[in-house]
Structure 1
Amino acid sequence: MINVNFKKIIALSFLLCLHTLTFAQSKDVKLPANWFNLDMVENGFFGISTEKAYRDLLKDKKPKQNIIVAVIDGGVDIDHPDLKEVLWTNKKEIPGNGIDDDGNGYVDDVHGWNFIGSKKGNLQFDNLELVRLLRIYTPKYQSTTNLTPLDSTQKEEFRLYKKMVGDFGKKYEDASNTFSVLIAINKVLDSVAKINNKKMPSLDDLDNYKADDETEEQVKTIIKKGAREDGSFEKFYKNIKDAYEQYDAMLKYNLNPKYDLRAELVGDDYSDPNQKNYGNGDVKGPDALHGTHVSGIIGADRSNNLGIMGVANHVSIMAIRVVPTGDERDKDVANGIRYAVDNGAKVINMSFGKAYKWDKKVVDEAVKYAESKGVLLVHAAGNDNQNNDIEENYPNKYFDSPEAEAYKLDHKKPVKPDFTPPRPMQNGMGMRSTAGGSSNLKPIPLDSAKFNLPHASNWIEVGASSYKDDDNLKADFSNYGKYNVDVFAPGFLINSTVPDGKYEDLDGTSMASPVVSGLAALILSYYPTLKPNQVREIIMKSVSKVLHKVKYKNERNETIRVPFSELCVSGGIVNAYNALKLAETY
């Protein structure tokens, strides 16, 4: 029989392999803070040539319009010195007087609105959509068998229920196993810190630390390897602490069916999808790291000689908070889109996503509303390294429609195997994390007809690219899709604003999406009469084509090399210089 200590060593060895897999693109590299705006030929980094465009194309041109970009996210630090001058301000609203001065139904919405809060406070944590759906389906189907008489609707619900039970089991097991290992790593780090009377120990302190047993010795090996791959011990230390918090929240809140504070902290009638006037004016909320980082990429002040430079120089950031630590809710997303449209946004950035839907119709109607009002939607493709042509990823541009329903009846979705090897996973906000995922073991033929089903013309889906023009150009975590992902943009080690006046490197399609949102705003500021479908067309036609093959792990978990055109519709990385030259011809 395997003893407990040996089991721990096996688990730690597994994490060592998992860490290597997830961080295959080493962070032991020094990149300019502004690399995503640089030019491949001039600077040697596969950015989007923003600086070249400002220098060669826009030097003697004056922008014709300031563009409002709505950041629908988890919160924005409105006091960050690199964002203060580029915030959208509702001039019709008198700050702090507790009155709805402009009569739009939102009291003191000075810089935007928070749809996941109330006078009682802010909702910080929420479940995954998977868990919320299981609350509904479990009482109905937990005793159902394949022999139970069911009508067609019940059969479809039962099929979905079984899939959700399997997905929940995998996610919970993966999270529990990973968290137990993170506990072991944290224990060693904290012991080393305590012995040396330091808040954060050094690598030398770790080397001098006498391990209590084989498990701690294995942990030391993992820490040293991780520090090398992350570029420094300090980065690894922070990553581990962040991961600990993430998995702690995942088990306590995201995957906990008993946790649900929505009614208490938001107080809306969640069963009413048409309800709009709820929330509060606190657009920062309890955790604004993600939304603040996204906002800086789009439009951090380019004239103040501070920190970084955003892509767009004549932009106003409208902060709309709908994303907790967990999955966003469809009702809040729909209301966030409508609020942005009604208050003048021309571009909406959405760096979030989830695997299940609750009320897609209400989101579809909001997307159609944005389309009718000439507003472009830019969405992050996700960080599961999954094929979005096969796997579900919400929200998306496809509308629930009679044609879509008819297609579903004629096409059965492939059944996944019980065993699923580990791979990068997306959290509720679209940033990188590590956990188990799903992978098909057999090739799945794609029927391109489904990609012509009714869909929005004002939508851009964005994957994440790295900094070097080699076969690792696709960020290893990024989702992809020959039909469903439109373009790629820099999303690896992106330095941008974070709360309390600080800056930090983050990566994810969450960082690639605002690069494209910033580019769209830049184009519109000089060519404001362009329609959303024209801006989309310009961005896609002007990409820097990738003419060599790139590596990625496919649905069968095989590392293969393919043309970049197999990973996205445009076959390239967005380029500001090319896009502005093309826009001039429209």
Structure 2
Amino acid sequence: MRRAHLLLPFLCLLGLASHAQAPLAQWHHLDPTADHVMGISTDRAYELLRTLPNKPAAKPIIVAVIDGGIDTAQVDLRHVLWHNPKEIPANGRDDDHNGYADDVYGWNFTGGADGRNVFRNQKEETRLYARLRPQYEHQTLAIVPPGKKDEFRLYEQAKEAYTTKRAAAEADYEDDARELTKDLANVATLRRAYGVAVVDSGRLRQPPADTALTRLAARYYQAVRGKFANLDSLTNQYRSYNAKLKQVLDCEYNLAYNPQPLVGDHPADLAERQYGNPNVKADPRDHGTEHGTHCAGIIAADRANNLGVRGIAEQVRILSVRAIPMGDERDKDVANAIRYAVDNGASIISMSFGKYFSPEKNVVDEAMRYADKKGVLLVHAAGNDHLSVDSTTQYPSPRFLNGQPIPNLITVGASARTNDEQLVAKFSNYGRAVDVFAPGVDVVSTYPNDQYRPGSGTSMATPVVAGVAAVLKVNFPQLTPADLKRIILASAAPVHTQVRKPGTKQLVDFATLSRTGGIVNLYEAVRLASAVPVPAAPISAQARRGK
């Protein structure tokens, strides 16, 4: 049966557990040597921390998750969430005078003052094409005034991207609609063959009276067993998937769609900061809350309650900043989200989002400079389009507009559990602009309504690295963003396994797919951090091991 899940950066595969279940297996915590799995050696790192002599006293920190929201009631998260100590909940007043009323758990830059929220937005190329088309639709580069040529080129790039992706989205929707029609007809046929209103997996195991349908029943049995109660549940999932494909057309690649008036800000005023609402949770049926909840759990799900999953970091409080809808985030919202996180004490910011156009990149750059000045490390997803980000820039990019590298930013690709051809995630972006890889395939973490599910994407790899940074900052509080970045990158020894280059069947050396050529390792990072003072210049992981 077709229909892999709709979109990365997040893949929900199976609901695994309620909050009552004991801890679930999480391969990303395992050790490559002892467990023969390409994890980050979490337990080994904590064993080392317990034995270190003269280690500085641990200092709790705040880690911000800029995403689509977090389920604040999730049993494995509710005790690790940041609470604004100066804000009185739900009184409608800005008690701490920071410009954001009732920001108890964080802030939402994709909502309006009346409580409504933006769940979906256009892709950035759609916004750009819609905005610039009236000015440039009938122009050519030769007749555009010199001062407008760069903007005209941007218009042409946006138009090409929009046109290509809109056509692909239409084809996906139409192909899936045809498949859905076939599925519904097949299910109706099987109902008649079995003579029942609801066909469950037990029924499908028995050959129908019409032996010509035996193979059809077997196909649907494979699709249903262990996953769905019956064929109606399966087709409901298919309908939901098809509706999501339609939403992509109706919202992300729709030139006329514009949810921004709901927020009530002034989009052209890039200095505007006080807008939005305090709803960081959103609707649990919305993709954003699932995504942000999953990322938060990877970083800091309660390690002491013996339930569900364990996060990477202890003594961390998660600050939720909601700025990422389905579709593409606005640069203005990203910049404000970074500034809000910094101003509210975050030491590390996890950013599992990205896009391929950034028309107001200058405001994001300034926010990143502000974060660096305040001692905050930024960790960002490389993207899930199996592209080289050396030739196709993904934003936020690792360089400022002036070409200088962003010193407090780590860009993360996704790796898998086995040290073989499949070690690099088939969807992951790659290139020298990617600093390091981290586990990002079938990573089990928190999910809304006290559930736990595996997710795949550089969105999962990013909070892994943010969690590693958090462990270092908690236990070695003197480390600066530059120190944290240097240590994390040095912890990733080059891996020379021949792997399938993402998006191709070509075998390449894994070490050629990123700046470090390796996978982050918490044990090695702790070992390096314990050898403080940190050297002024980066050295290779091999050199640190004395090889």
- What's the TM-score bracket when you normalise by the shorter of the two chains? 0.7 to 0.9
Matched AA of 2:333: D
Call closer, same or farther: CA 1:158–1:40 in 2, change over 3 Å: same
Matched AA of 2:300: G
1:314 equivalenced with 2:315 (yes/no): yes
CA displacement 1:387-424 (0-9 Å, x = unmatched):
000002111221112xxxxxxxxxxxxxxxxxxxxxxx
- Report the Cα offset of residue 293 of structure 1: 0.4
Q: In the TM superposition, what are the counterparts of 1:550-569 in structure 2 within 5 Å?
A: 550-553=499-502, 558-569=504-515
- Report the Cα offset of residue 232 of structure 1: 6.0
Alignment partner of 2:405: what SS? coil
- Report the Cα offset of residue 353 of structure 1: 0.3
- Report the Cα offset of residue 334 of structure 1: 0.3
Distance across 2 between alignment mates of 1:316 and 1:197: 50
Distance across 1 between alignment mates of 2:150 and 2:412: 31
Matched AA of 1:487: V
Aligned to 2:45: 53
Call closer, same or farther: CA 1:207–1:549 in 2, change over 3 Å: farther
- Report the Cα offset of residue 207 of structure 1: 9.1
1:501 equivalenced with 2:450 (yes/no): yes
Matched AA of 1:130: E
Aligned to 2:417: 467
Q: TM-score, normalised by structure 2?
A: 0.85
Q: CA RMSD in A?
A: 3.2
Distance across 1 between alignment mates of 2:57 and 2:177: 53
Distance across 2 between alignment mates of 1:217 and 1:62: 68
Alignment partner of 1:489: what SS? strand
- Report the Cα offset of residue 145 of structure 1: 3.5
Matched AA of 1:454: Q
| Aligned length, in residue pairs | 503
Distance across 2 between alignment mates of 1:258 and 1:461: 33
1:114 equivalenced with 2:108 (yes/no): yes
Alignment partner of 1:538: what SS? helix
Call closer, same or farther: CA 1:255–1:203 in 2, change over 3 Å: farther
Distance across 2 between alignment mates of 1:158 and 1:54: 54
Q: Is the 8 A contact 1:117 1:279 kept in 2?
A: yes
Q: Is the 8 A contact 1:63 1:314 kept in 2?
A: no
Equivalent residue for 2:178, pick from 165, 175, 184: 184
1:173 equivalenced with 2:173 (yes/no): no
Q: In the TM superposition, what are the counterparts of 1:27-426 in structure 2 within 5 Å?
A: 33-58=25-50, 64-120=58-114, 121-145=116-140, 148-190=142-184, 195=191, 197-198=197-198, 202=201, 205=204, 240=238, 243-263=241-261, 265-286=262-283, 287=286, 288-401=289-402
Alignment partner of 1:156: what SS? helix
Q: Which runs of 4+ in 1 moved over 4 A?
A: 59-63, 188-194, 206-211, 216-228, 231-242
- Report the Cα offset of residue 170 of structure 1: 1.6
- Report the Cα offset of residue 34 of structure 1: 1.2
Matched AA of 2:275: Y
- Report the Cα offset of residue 490 of structure 1: 0.3
Matched AA of 2:269: D
Q: Is the 8 A contact 2:56 2:476 kept in 1?
A: no
Matched AA of 2:136: Y
Matched AA of 1:564: F
CA displacement 1:546-575 (0-9 Å, x = unmatched):
12222114xxx6422222221001110000
Alignment partner of 2:309: what SS? coil
Call closer, same or farther: CA 1:35–1:239 in 2, change over 3 Å: farther
Q: Is the 8 A contact 1:192 1:209 kept in 2?
A: no
Call closer, same or farther: CA 1:377–1:245 in 2, change over 3 Å: farther
Aligned to 1:434: none
Matched AA of 1:578: E
Call closer, same or farther: CA 1:197–1:88 in 2, change over 3 Å: farther
Distance across 2 between alignment mates of 1:174 and 1:389: 24
Q: Percent identity?
A: 41
Call closer, same or farther: CA 1:396–1:99 in 2, change over 3 Å: same
Equivalent residue for 1:486, pick from 435, 441, 450: 435
Distance across 1 between alignment mates of 2:355 and 2:217: 35
- Report the Cα offset of residue 156 of structure 1: 2.6
Q: TM-score, normalised by structure 1?
A: 0.79
Q: Is the 8 A contact 1:464 1:478 kept in 2?
A: yes
Call closer, same or farther: CA 1:476–1:239 in 2, change over 3 Å: farther
Call closer, same or farther: CA 1:457–1:206 in 2, change over 3 Å: farther
Alignment partner of 2:135: what SS? helix
Matched AA of 2:465: V
Q: Is the 8 A contact 1:301 1:309 kept in 2?
A: yes
Aligned to 2:465: 516
Matched AA of 1:521: A
Q: Is the 8 A contact 1:134 1:164 kept in 2?
A: yes
Aligned to 1:455: 405
Aligned to 1:572: 518
Call closer, same or farther: CA 1:142–1:225 in 2, change over 3 Å: farther
Call closer, same or farther: CA 1:37–1:558 in 2, change over 3 Å: closer
Q: Is the 8 A contact 1:48 1:575 kept in 2?
A: yes
Distance across 2 between alignment mates of 1:545 and 1:580: 18
Distance across 2 between alignment mates of 1:218 and 1:480: 42
Matched AA of 2:259: L
Alignment partner of 1:573: what SS? coil
Call closer, same or farther: CA 1:35–1:238 in 2, change over 3 Å: farther
CA displacement 1:487-522 (0-9 Å, x = unmatched):
000000111111111111110000000000000000
Alignment partner of 1:349: what SS? strand
Distance across 2 between alignment mates of 1:210 and 1:298: 53
Distance across 2 between alignment mates of 1:515 and 1:345: 17
Call closer, same or farther: CA 1:543–1:242 in 2, change over 3 Å: farther
- Report the Cα offset of residue 241 of structure 1: 5.7
Note the residue ranges of structure 2 that are not aligned, 5 or more in a row: 17-22, 533-547
CA displacement 1:451-502 (0-9 Å, x = unmatched):
xx31210000000000101121000000001x20000000001111111111
Aligned to 2:20: none
- Report the Cα offset of residue 233 of structure 1: 6.9
Alignment partner of 1:271: what SS? coil
Aligned to 1:418: none
CA displacement 1:71-124 (0-9 Å, x = unmatched):
000000000000000000101001111111100000000010001112331111
Call closer, same or farther: CA 1:535–1:504 in 2, change over 3 Å: same
Q: Is the 8 A contact 1:69 1:348 kept in 2?
A: yes
